[in-house]
Amino acid sequence: MSVYEDMLNTERFAPNAWAASAVSFGLRHLNERVVAGERVTDAAQRATSLGQINTMLTEITKKVSAADREQIVVLAQPVLASLQ
């Protein structure tokens, strides 16, 4: 299981009341890993990871407020950029 799959599962199984906090925490952790130079190098795994983060972003919109959604999208940008 990858950290990207963990992010998707965090969103899926987190109760609505703490989904934004849990996902924000996870994205901050992924951003720290990106800043530290960690990258997914395998093209297939990169595509899978990108899909998992995009799915998480789509699904989290059903659980959180507009303000939380905006914060999550901002936090996700460096992670998404690293997977392009």
Q: What is the pLDDT of residues 20-57, one digit of tens each?
A: 999 999 999 999 999 999 999 899 999 999 999 999 99
Task: Say yes or no to pLDDT of 67 above 70.
Answer: yes
pTM: 0.90
**Residues 80, 62: Cα–Cα separation, whole Å:** 20
**Residues 10, 14: Cα–Cα separation, whole Å:** 6
Model confidence band, residue 18 (pLDDT cutoffs 50, 70, 90):
very high
Average pLDDT, the chain: 93
Task: Say yes or no to pLDDT of 1 above 80.
Answer: no
List C-alpha distances in Å: 56 to 43, 44, 72. Answer: 20, 18, 10
